[in-house]
Amino acid sequence: MERINWPRWGKEATGTSPWARGKLLAALAVLTAGLLAFHSAVPNAVARIGSLLETFLPWLGLAVPLLLVLALLRRSALALVALLAPAAVWGFLFGGRLAADSRGAHDLTAVQHNVSDVNADPAATARTLTESDPDLLALEELTPAALPGYERALASAYPYRAVHGTVGLWSKQPLSDVRSLDIKPQGIEEDWNRGVRAKLRTGKGEIAVYVVHLPSVRVRWNGFSSGRRDESARLLGAVLAAEKLDRVILLGDLNGTTDDRGLAPVTSRMDSLGEGFAFSWPAAFPVSRIDHVMTRSATVTGIRTLPATDSDHLPVAADIELRG
């Protein structure tokens, strides 16, 4: 049998040791760790690059296996040691989310879904959403043509509903004090209605339930366009701050991840953000979760995606444990 000559980890012919090789790889590993740990320090003033980084922040961890392969090929002990830094930071930031995409102890289950304004089969979408038997259903991009189809499909199991503009909430338990939300940024036409609030009555007390759909963001040649989304998030944050009920459930397509500083006016007002990955967009190949279930004075104990519908988003289901 022919003997295989594996690459040696000793000095090269030039005399370079494994601890002197791969300095560039080591530097890239340290840079990756820095971006993960201090992403909030990346400025947003130019093209909102900070928000763009935070939108896909978990995926920065893919640099670790790539650099690992390159370090092994380069036979660089220096790079291998340096890779411990980004691996540790990623594990600290996101390791817990790996176990969170599951069922948890709960008092109620909520499903959030952007059903798409070009959804051709509302009845099939409604069936998919109700298969998990949630207590609450929040839908966005409801069109006047599609709304009757959702109402017919959900009426028997969800007798209580609150619909305003293109967003709606369906519930098994009574809703009251329904009102629209003013979260419209400047420069958007008058018929833009993407927020509704209702009071949910449960065996453990009353809960304010919000359903919202923040403006879309765009990645263009000149950067990340999120100005209107950020303005709407600030308006929503002010509404949440003024909410008198202690318990709050927020469901919606926020067009951003919980890591994105543009949503800080909202996320800073909530206690539990549903920390599982549960990537929901785009449905064909999900890379981020922009569909959210958040709570105040309650806990999201598990979050997961549901089977695809005729939408470019995946539905997101969350188990919620009420406090007190």
What residue ranges do the domains of the chain occupy? 23-98, 108-322
Q: What pLDDT does 14 receive?
A: 64
Q: Give domain 108-322's CATH number out of 3.40.50.1820, 3.90.1150.10, 3.60.10.10, 3.30.2130.10.
A: 3.60.10.10
What is the reported pLDDT for 15? 61
Residue 128's pLDDT is what?
Answer: 97
In percent, how much of the chain has pLDDT > 70?
93
pTM given for the model: 0.91
Residue 97 dihedral angles phi and psi, to the nearest 5°: -75, -20
pLDDT at residue number 4:
53
- Answer yes or no: is pLDDT of 7 > 60: no
* CA dist., res. 106 & res. 311, Å (int): 28
Question: Which string of DSSP letters, residue by residue, matches 256-293?
Answer: S-TT-GGGHHHHTT-SB---S----BSTTS--B--EEE
Ramachandran angles phi, psi of 289, nearest 5°: -110, 110
* Cis-peptide into 265, omega within 30 deg: no
Q: How confident is the model at residue 286 (pLDDT cuts 50, 70, 90)?
A: very high
> What pLDDT shows up at residue 188?
87
pLDDT band at 47 (very low <50, low <70, confident <90, very high): confident
The pLDDT tens digits for 226-261 are 999 999 999 999 999 999 999 999 999 999 999 999
Six-digit token string for 77: 């002990």
* pLDDT, averaged across the chain: 92
pLDDT tens per residue across span 178-199:
999 999 999 887 789 999 999 9
Of 149, 167, 145, 171, nearest to 158 by C-alpha is 171
Residue 275's pLDDT band (cuts 50, 70, 90)? confident
